[in-house]
Amino acid sequence: YTYDTHSKLWENPDAAVFFRLFVVHLPRGGSYRLLGVEQNEGAAVGLNTPVPANMIVARKGRFVQFRDKKNIYLLAFTSKDDAAIFE
């Protein structure tokens, strides 16, 4: 999804495209990255972003939100159970 500042709505550019989210931990630096890999033949990476250590996490139902002073990341899971086990 992308946020349209004009309409103030989240838009899905292609409802037929799904991404699998991977959380990658780099133990040497103690850092994390979020990777979103498209689930099709091309398997393109659509999201590759570091997760700063000082993020605030908020949970509600099947949604998990990370935020800092500059960015907001929202993860939408297929079920509340999936969201609950996400660390």
Average pLDDT (49-63) is 81
Average pLDDT (37-47) is 79
Round the average pLDDT of the chain to a whole number and report it.
Answer: 79
Q: What is the pLDDT of residue 44?
A: 80
Average pLDDT (61-81) is 83
Q: How far is CA 58 from CA 9, 35, 74, in A?
A: 20, 20, 9
